[in-house]
Amino acid sequence: MKVECLGWLMDVYLRPDGTPMLWLIDQTGKRWLLRMHLPVTFYVTGGRADLRQAWRYLSSRSVSCERQDRKDLFRGQCPVMAVTLPDPASAQAVYHDLRRNFPLLDYYDADLPLGVRLAGHTGVHLLGQCRFTTDGEQILMLSPLDSPWDLDPSAPSLRILEVELPDDPHLSPPAWLDLRFQTFRYRLSLEPLRAFGANLRALLSRFDPDVILTDYGDTWLFPFLQKVFPEFNLNRDPGMAVAVRPARTLFAYGQVLYRGEQAFLFGRWHIDRRNAALFGEIGLEGAMELARVTQLGVQETARKSPGAGITAMQMLTALQEGVLIPAVKQQAESPRTLSDLIRADRGGMIYQPLVGVYRHVAEIDFASMYPSIMVQANISPETLAHPDAPPGLIPRTLTPLLRKRLALKQRLQTLDPRDERIAGLKARQSALKWLLVVCFGYLGYKNARFGKVESHEKVTALSRELLLQAKELAEEQGFTVLHMYVDSLFVHREGGLCREDVAPLLEAIQARTSIGVTLEGIYRWLVFLPSRQDGRTPVPNRYFGVFEDGTLKVRGLALRRHDTCAFAASVQGEILRILAQAEDPRERVADARVLVQRELQRLSRGQIPPAVLKVAVKLSRAPESFRKPGPAAQAARLLAERGVAVRAGMRLHFWFTRQGVSVDMPAPSMVDVDRYARLVQRAAEEILQPLESPPPVPFQPRLLFVPLPVHPLAPIPEGQ
């Protein structure tokens, strides 16, 4: 019997037999898992002889081919061989087979994420509202009812089951699990195992959750459950097994990163809060917003870097406009001279600040500077040589994203601070911000399908020019520019300044650059710190200050670092709160020193709970390649002795003790008090010492008084 429903598309995946499955929730709250017919076409171009052979090869395997004219982003309309298959899985198999046999041909639209393909085919996006007709097993009709760019998308009410562990299970096997569902709370003991399994099954079937939020679910709980109950299926779709992606260490953004094993579910989502890159900041609302605009599943967006999302968005734009999507990047960097390379290969403008303590400083920020430049200046790989061309693929992809984020930000400003919608709007706004942050980097990424490094460089060149224009305008209006950092500038005027004083400057910058600027705030005072290695050298990103409303902003101090123990970070935080009460931070240095002494005394008396003395260090390389047994290497060795697989990029937690290092929480009497005291003192001096010394740059008065050695002439011997 045919049924027509209104509902929301929650996820889409392939069954092992290649059938596309859709998970939907209808308006009555019923959960549907339905098959869908989703034919796939991919395209092939290349040399005529190779293409003819490929055609014959496919015909012999009863695959239908067709000659078509399609649009290539760089070459315009071109003839292609279109290969159509009944479902995505067989299309993947044919594509890989063809590529293996005909590696010299170019392939397009061959490896798109399933969500992107579905959105291109039906117009229905993930988390979007839709109308569907079904016979109970198969989708017969699917049509969209909203757009991913709607500001207030409707969403179904989700059943969320949270699973928490008492401690890090890699250090000590937990004795129980805490489960939370709405107002229900359960503590399931892991012993005896059989009872635990029966209870867990009963709770899963009673609540039938849509989302399982765990701590250590990826790296411990799911592998543990699979080991002890191999027949237990946590999926809602009984035709699927839990998908496990192995752990890996990667090098990205100049850092060694470790991604633990990942466990994906089908028909419901599993998110491990401890193994999801952005989840701490954007939460479930943010991950859903990312899925809505990128067409990658929520389990992916919660775990992956937003770069994959930007690529998926570009793919969907291309798919909707009939532009071919290359399977591998085809545009190489154009050759150029050394001097051109030196001129072009530079990042954003980064000034060296004038070190010292300043009162009344305004921070002015360009709003979403890089993506705005990309849209305003029509920067896209295919428009590089034709600036007057119609908007390119990248600006077309980014424009709705920029608009939506701006609208969310504007809505946030109009809401009452007690409004309960604020947290969700902030999470969604923040999720979109991350997409905008990475969209620029992806222009130059070596594997970006539509990337070209010259377009990346053009963005930074324009950003430097805009910042210099802003600097000139500020100086024309009598401000001193204390600092500039990529998309923000800090200005100051003797005798103080208020918001009204800065308004004409904001208007002038906006009028000159055509990019939105906002006043981040006026600092009551702001301190730019010098380098820790050389007090004469200013550094761009070490400063702290307090805005007029008392909010602190801190960059580059110990409390911002992941490897600072909570105790040292809290002492720094307390110092800053004391300083923030004054009109000039130097007035309260003595009070801050009293606080530091008090905390050091508490430490020496053993009154600091060891839990806040835990240090977290990320391993920069494999444990066996450490030549000197530093604390991180010692902790790695201790963990390895317990059977934990320690790999580069992992964050290790340990304590400094009298015996060296411990990966278990020590008794207060065993803590290495001297070492923690040094850490606290260093954290305190980082803030207090510069406030007590005169500004060291730019004149170096100390060195003017370096006594020159006196070499008195030897007395001339008499008689000569």
List of residues contacting another protein (CB under 8 A): 338-339, 341-343, 345-346, 349-352, 354, 441, 444-446, 453, 456, 464, 468, 484, 534, 536-538, 697-700, 703, 706-709
Q: Which of 546, 590, 599, 604 is closest to 572 using CA atoms? A: 599
Torsion angle of the four alpha carbons 382, 387, 392, 396, in this order, in degrees rounded to the nearest 10: 150
Q: Which is nearer to another protein, 223 or 535 (CB)?
A: 535
Q: Which is nearer to another protein, 534 or 692 (CB)?
A: 534
Q: Residue 51 has which token pair? A: 């293409």
Phi, psi dihedrals of residue 234, rounded to the nearest 5°: -85, -5
Across-strand partners of 272? 214
Q: Residue 568 has which token pair? A: 């040292």
At closest approach, how far in Å is the CB of 471 from another protein?
10
**What's the rounded Cα separation, in Å, for the pair 57 and 60?**
5
At closest approach, how far in Å is the CB of 585 from another protein?
22
**What's the rounded Cα separation, in Å, for the pair 528 and 98?**
59
Q: How would you list the strands of the sheet with 176-181, edge to edge? A: 184-189, 176-181, 160-164, 211-214, 269-272
**What's the rounded Cα separation, in Å, for the pair 89 and 81?**
19
**H or E segment to which residue 362 belongs:** strand 356-366
- By the 10 Å C-beta count (0-12 exposed, 13-18 middle, 19+ buried), 684 is classed as buried
At closest approach, how far in Å is the CB of 533 from another protein?
11
Q: Which is nearer to another protein, 29 or 698 (CB)?
A: 698
At closest approach, how far in Å is the CB of 709 from another protein?
6
Q: Which is nearer to another protein, 283 or 353 (CB)?
A: 353
**CB contact at 8 A, 117 and 88:** yes
Give, in order, the Cα–Cα distances in Å from 713 to each of 706, 710, 716, 717.
21, 9, 8, 12
Across-strand partners of 616? 653
Q: Which is nearer to another protein, 143 or 537 (CB)?
A: 537
Q: Which is nearer to another protein, 65 or 344 (CB)?
A: 344
Q: Which is nearer to another protein, 346 or 499 (CB)?
A: 346
At closest approach, how far in Å is the CB of 374 from another protein?
16
Q: Would you give the DSSP letter of residue 665?
A: P
At closest approach, how far in Å is the CB of 445 from another protein?
6
At closest approach, how far in Å is the CB of 440 from another protein?
11
Q: Which is nearer to another protein, 343 or 651 (CB)?
A: 343
3-state secondary structure of 215: coil
At closest approach, how far in Å is the CB of 536 from another protein?
4
Phi, psi dihedrals of residue 20, rounded to the nearest 5°: -70, 130
Q: Which is nearer to another protein, 346 or 512 (CB)?
A: 346
Q: Which of 613, 585, 151, 704 is closest to 401 using CA atoms? A: 151
At closest approach, how far in Å is the CB of 251 from another protein?
11
Q: Residue 669 has which token pair? A: 């009497």
CB within 8 A of 242, min separation 6: which ones? 222, 226, 233, 234, 235, 263, 264, 265
**What's the rounded Cα separation, in Å, for the pair 358 and 340?**
39
**CB contact at 8 A, 234 and 222:** yes
Q: Which is nearer to another protein, 41 or 305 (CB)?
A: 305
3-state secondary structure of 565: coil
Q: Residue 109 has which token pair? A: 């639209």
At closest approach, how far in Å is the CB of 444 from another protein?
4
**H or E segment to which residue 692 belongs:** helix 673-692
Q: Which is nearer to another protein, 176 or 445 (CB)?
A: 445
Upstream peptide bond of 698 is cis (omega within 30 degrees of 0): yes
At closest approach, how far in Å is the CB of 44 from another protein?
29
Give, in order, the Cα–Cα distances in Å from 204 to each of 187, 207, 221, 262.
14, 5, 15, 20
3-state secondary structure of 690: helix
Q: Which is nearer to another protein, 341 or 503 (CB)?
A: 341
Q: Which is nearer to another protein, 24 or 484 (CB)?
A: 484
Phi, psi dihedrals of residue 175, rounded to the nearest 5°: -95, -20
Q: Which is nearer to another protein, 220 or 358 (CB)?
A: 358
At closest approach, how far in Å is the CB of 92 from another protein?
29
At closest approach, how far in Å is the CB of 698 from another protein?
5
At closest approach, how far in Å is the CB of 466 from another protein?
13
Q: Which is nearer to another protein, 1 or 708 (CB)?
A: 708
Q: Which is nearer to another protein, 221 or 448 (CB)?
A: 448
CB within 8 A of 655, min separation 6: which ones? 610, 613, 614, 615, 661, 662, 663, 664, 665, 666, 671
At closest approach, how far in Å is the CB of 492 from another protein?
16
At closest approach, how far in Å is the CB of 254 from another protein?
10
Give, in order, the Cα–Cα distances in Å from 710 to each of 203, 707, 714.
88, 9, 12
- Helix orientation angle between 422-444 and 453-476, rounded to the nearest 10 degrees: 120
